[in-house]
Amino acid sequence: MAVMNMVQAINLALREEMERDESVVCLGEDVGVDGGVFRVTEGLFERFGKERVIDTPLAESSIVGTAIGMAMNGLRPVAEIQFLGFIYPAYQQFVSHAARMRNRTRGRLTVPMVVRAPYGAGVKALEHHSESTEAIFCHIPGLKVVVPATPLEAKGLLTASIRDPDPVIFLEPTRSYRLLKEEVPEGEYVVPLGQARKVREGKDVTIVGWGAMLPIIQKAVESLEKEGISPEVLDMRTLAPMDYSSVVSSVKRTGRCVVVHEAPRNLGLGAEISARVMEGALLSLQAPVERVTAPDITVPLPKGENYYYISPERVVNGVKRAMSF
């Protein structure tokens, strides 16, 4: 088993799925000769050729629209959008087509497509390169949204996404791309979509997060533990359709819940999780669900990013508010 970072794990999943299934093709801006701006598709062009690793013109709507057409006609495209902040031109293709092709054809035509995109703040990036707008996809019935937190998870979740019969938006936290290495198996390794992962058992409070929030939550947990607080940590990993029942049953035991995300607070996923927890566990709740999120402002440029992004301290503060309500 090789030790690898998330970029390598994603690359491995792509390579193995392409080897396993001829109908898997990659497309996007700079995914071919260049190997992707984050090197995620490195080596695939050389291995599988330009018919299967397609450098496309610079046009997101058409990248996604073309992938939809490919998927309707028997391929399993894995499209890359260079950053989540550039996916918006393709939004119509997701909402009006990918999400409802199955429904509109009563199951005759389907869209087994994956659209990958790096996302999230904290890497000192340019404007528009730090967005966390997962909510705008999670709100649309018919779309699946997946975010891996570690290299191993990335491999298993991407493999499942490529094999999934429905459209999956696979968001890769740029901050985690090279943060951590771990053992990732070659060959079959699948993490089923739709199930949260219990990262850590605990009894005082349930901390819910995903993607790049997990290492931050981890740090927070370390200092919380020192103060005698025992948090349970859930990695949601599939953001839509979300495994709300795991959250609810955890909160029923702990009595407290803190959701951590980097998207703006208003209508971020924390809102829905909060609502579901109340609906499912009001009588167990000893404090309102705490939301540790970005404020409702545009992501600042790098020098101001500390005003925006989530730090372990802010998670600790949130947990303490929940504990002392």
Ligand X SMILES: Cc1ncc(C[n+]2csc(CCOP(=O)(O)OP(=O)(O)O)c2C)c(N)n1
Q: Find the shortest distance in angstroms from Cβ 70 to another protein.
A: 4
DSSP string, 43-84: THHHHH-TTTEEE--S-HHHHHHHHHHHHHTT-EEEEE-S-G
Is 91 a residue that touches another protein (CB under 8 A)?
no
Q: Tell me the C-alpha distance between 285 and 116, whole Å.
A: 37
Stretch that binds another protein, among 2-10, 206-214, 224-232, 309-317 (CB under 8 A): 309-317
For residue 286, the minimal CB distance to a copy of itself (Å) is: 10
- At its nearest, how many Å lie between another protein and the CB of residue 182? 25
Residue 278 interacts with a copy of itself (CB under 8 A): yes or no? yes
| CA distance to 25, 63, 67, 134, per residue, from 93 (Å) | 19, 10, 10, 16
Residues 40 and 52: their CA atoms lie apart, in Å, by 15
Q: Does 126 bind a copy of itself (CB under 8 A)?
A: no
Closest CB to ligand X among residues 118, 209: 118
Closest by CA to 14, choosing from 32, 197, 84, 98, is: 32
User: Least distance to another protein from the beta carbon of 203, Å?
Assistant: 25
By CB under 8 A, is residue 133 in contact with another protein?
no
**Binding to another protein (CB under 8 A): which residues in 174-203?**
194
Helix or strand holding residue 91 (H, E): helix 91-92
Phi, psi of 24 (to 5 degrees): -80, 125
Whether the Cβ atoms of residue 289 and residue 258 lie closer than 8 Å to each other: yes
Pairwise CA distance, residues 151 & 159, whole Å: 12
Task: Quote the DSSP letter at residue 138.
Answer: H
Task: Determine if 86 is a binding residue for ligand X (CB under 6 A).
Answer: yes
Number of residues binding to another protein, judged by CB under 8 A: 85
Q: Does 72 bind a copy of itself (CB under 8 A)?
A: no
Residue with smaller CB distance to ligand X, 81 or 236: 81
Say which entry of another protein, a copy of itself, ligand X, none residue 172 contacts (CB below 5 to 8 A, set by partner kind).
none
Residues 47-66 that bind ligand X (CB under 6 A): 58, 60
Q: Which of 140/179 has CB closer to a copy of itself?
A: 140
Residue 161 CA, chain-centre distance (Å), reads 11
Is 129 labeled as catalytic in the residue annotation?
yes
Which residues lie near ligand X (CB under 6 A)?
29, 58, 60, 82, 86
Please identify every residue annotated as catalytic: 129
